[in-house]
Amino acid sequence: MTANSMRFREFKMPDVGEGLTEAEILKWYVAAGDTVSDGQIVCEVETAKAAVELPIPFDGVVHELRFPEGTTVDVGQVIISVDTDPGAGPADAPAAPAAAAAAPAPAATPEAPAAPERQAVLVGYGAAPSSTKRRPRKAQPDRSASVTAAVQAELNGAPAPAPIAAPVAPAEPVAPVAPEAVPGQARPLAKPPVRKLAKDLGIDLATVVATGADGIVTREDVHAAAAARLAPSPVAEEPVAVAEVPAAAGAPGLAARETRIPVKGVRKATAQAMVASAFTAPHVTEFVTVDVTRTMKLVQKLKDDPDMAGLRVNPLLLVAKALLVAIKRNPGINAAWDEANQEIVVKHYVNLGIAAATPRGLIVPNIKDADAKTLPELSTALGELVGTAREGRTSPADMAGGTVTITNVGVFGIDTGTPILNPGESAILAFGAIKLQPWVHKGKIKPRHVTTLALSFDHRLVDGELGSKVLADIAAVLENPKRLITWG
């Protein structure tokens, strides 16, 4: 390893989730020239599961940020380079992925003949100067110029010009254009590490403009080709502009009337999970409307109880407790379907998921071992879960391993719905809005607090009897919360 490579350390995008392949850079907390220390948070990224802050694993000065905010980066790509020995003076930093082609070396003069360049090829070794020279390659037609001219002629409606026999030197320096791969063309010249880099980046060496001596493709050439491939192509944009239909006079353009939002991160993962769940597990949804007047009175009493002072007490807390009691009485509902082994896996613990709408999309963090918690402990865990989700700090571990879920659609004024199962779970409970409605109570019509519950379940492992018993038990507890004691 060279001293330069030891001095400049590169930090790659880690796998911050469970087997995730990419992450979006949300925010940089440092800039080039900033001093960083081991463990310092340098950026925030969003995976398909959550937003995560990344610490740098070494000390030094930030040399370069490889990607801007808003860029989706594959796991394993370098995102930041750090100079770990800034006091050593200037040195050549490692090339960035989007680096331009290397500048040509100055020509040799009689007074100062050019020295042979020594390139490291293995650890501790270098390429020794050789007295032999590579035989000059035969002149090849400038295929890039002919291809470019043909495309331009096609756009202008003119016949394509004949291929140029020999390259013509431009009057001013221009950016090199990658040639088209031609069958039968000589194999491009490149060293093994460069060939591996091109393979990893998905670059065909036949399409890379070589700037090295004797037509050898360098690492910088491959990086430049990769950057050019990501850049928008003006040739591809031309036909779109020509085919665009002009808007009617006085009418706003279509672009001004529509907004396109890229589907990525949490929203993309949610969409994929919901489609997979909807078309994998046969959903069944049952409904029940229940008088929860006594539950609302209990909520008020708990708010006034000194033992619950400072805790989050609301109807959702008692709905969660009612669901846990129902699961205890009907453990078969807390299960999962193992497709590979064709088995039903009954869980003897409850990781209670709470669906939460956040600016980044819908997430379902869960309370671990919720069935083992007392009411104050459950209230504390519920408050922390909701607060963390609203701040966007929910970690992937908080969303893994859920067994059953509650979605509180009532906070939006919705009576009920048919929720889709969280993947890997067998049941989800929708809790609707609580409203004062006329209700027959003790033989008389009175205004009572009423809500509607909906339970969706996987009919492969939960039949109608089991699903109905669970929903009936939840309703019975909310109608008469004393059952929390007698059944709990």
- Annotated catalytic residues are 459
Name 47's Cβ contacts closer than 8 Å, sequence gap at least 6.
16, 17, 20, 22, 23, 24, 265, 396
Rounded CA separation 252/133 (Å):
65
Report strand pairing: 189-190 vs 216-217: parallel
Name 197's Cβ contacts closer than 8 Å, sequence gap at least 6.
219, 222
Rounded CA separation 221/208 (Å):
7
Identify the bridge partners of residue 357 per DSSP, sorted by sequence position: 362
Q: Please give the radius of gyration of the chain, using alpha carbons only, rounded to the nearest integer.
A: 33
Helices (H), ranges, 124-205:
143-156, 192-201
Contacts 24+ apart (CB under 8 A), 366-374: 366/398, 366/399, 366/401, 366/402, 366/403, 366/405, 368/401, 370/320, 370/324, 371/324, 371/327, 371/328
Q: How does DSSP classify residue 412?
A: G
Q: How does DSSP classify residue 307?
A: G
Neighbour tally for 327: CB within 10 Å? 23
Residue with the two structure tokens 């999962």: 336
Q: Enter the tokens of residue 252.
A: 């706003």
Q: What is the spatial order of strands in the sheet that 72-74 belongs to?
A: 51-55, 41-46, 22-28, 72-74
Helix (H, G, I), strand (E, B) or coil at 198: helix
Instruction: Quote the distance between the C-alpha of residue 45 and its chain's center.
Output: 8
| Phi-psi category of residue 229: left, alpha or beta, with phi > 0 → left and psi -120 to 50 → alpha | alpha
Where are the extended beta strands (E) located within 366-426? 366-367, 404-407
Residue with the two structure tokens 């000589």: 186
